[in-house]
Homo-oligomer: A and B are copies of this chain.
Amino acid sequence: MKRGQPIGIFDSGIGGLTVLRELKKLLPNESFVYVGDTAHVPYGNKSNDSIIKFSKKLTSFLVEQHNVKLVIIACNTASSIVINDLNKSFSVPFIDVISPLKSYLLKPNNEFIQNIGVIGTHNTISSNAYNQFLKEVNINFKIFSKACPLFVPIIEEGLADHEVSKIMIAEYLDSLMKNKIHALILGCTHYPILLNQISSYLGKDVKIINSAYVVASYTKEYLNENAEQNQALTTTKLYLTDESQHFNMFATKFLNTDFNYIKKINLF
């Protein structure tokens, strides 16, 4: 691993761009290669076998064609399913979007968090990955999870500020509020785009944990410890496995991210 190498990021589609946004804020001297599997998006309704197969292809692309020093799995569905298989098949280090929560939750100012809400896609929630992980961090955590499958289409259709978004937030989060959660983990990379709306519903007493920020922050610490921070001129490249009509809305409305180039690739 060398300083000059870029950081690789993969996601099922474009939701992981919220992670890229936080990474670019915290690591302005790094180069990034992002590959979004828009040919198969969403992963939330695919089988584990398929998600593992897709993730290996995306990782091979990042490692073999872009010589990345690190791969960030910017997709909760994939994070909860593929990490073991990828570690067996590749020597590059992986950072998923779940594990970095450990050091975050163990910080002194987060000691008040005991009842934790987790929201995500069907697959992320039914995989129980967050439950297992959080119980390992602290066996006394009480975890309340809820699949919120309509959030992604609401976000991708630009309806974050529409009445429908408010209604579904109330519908999905009501049971979590009744369980008096202290914090809510946004277990899907799309969800930061609903941050303000979710925050309005939850009020000030519930802390929202934005995985995109937590992962970026963890990645910065990791690079510092391993003296791998880049100092060179930076580039940000984006590859998609299929065209994406939602990309422009996402990239321009929410991310303000400049890409050196965007390219469609045939991986499958």
Spell out A's residues near B (CB within 8 Å). Answer: 38-41, 45-47, 50, 122, 149-150, 152-154, 156-157, 159, 162-164, 167-168, 171, 242-246, 264, 268
Pick from B154, B159, B242: contact of A47, CB below 8 A: B242
A50, A162, A171: residue with the most chain B Cβ atoms closer than 10 Å: A50
- Name the B residues within 8 Å of A162 (CB-CB): 171
Q: Contact: B40 with A39, CB < 8 Å?
A: yes
- Main SS at interface, chain A: loop
A86 to chain B, nearest CB (A): 20
Pick from B168, B171, B245, B264: contact of A45, CB below 8 A: B245
Give bound CA distance, A153 to B139, whole Å.
36
Give bound CA distance, A162 to B168, whole Å.
10
A232 to chain B, nearest CB (A): 34
- Name the B residues within 8 Å of A243 (CB-CB): 46-47
A173 to chain B, nearest CB (A): 14
Which residue of B is nearest A148, CB measured? B157
Pick from B153, B242, B246: contact of A153, CB below 8 A: B153
- Name the B residues within 8 Å of A149 (CB-CB): 153, 156-157
Which residue of B is nearest A126, CB measured? B245
- Name the B residues within 8 Å of A39 (CB-CB): 40, 46, 50
Give bound CA distance, A179 to B141, whole Å.
56
- Name the B residues within 8 Å of A167 (CB-CB): 163-164, 167
- Name the B residues within 8 Å of A41 (CB-CB): 45
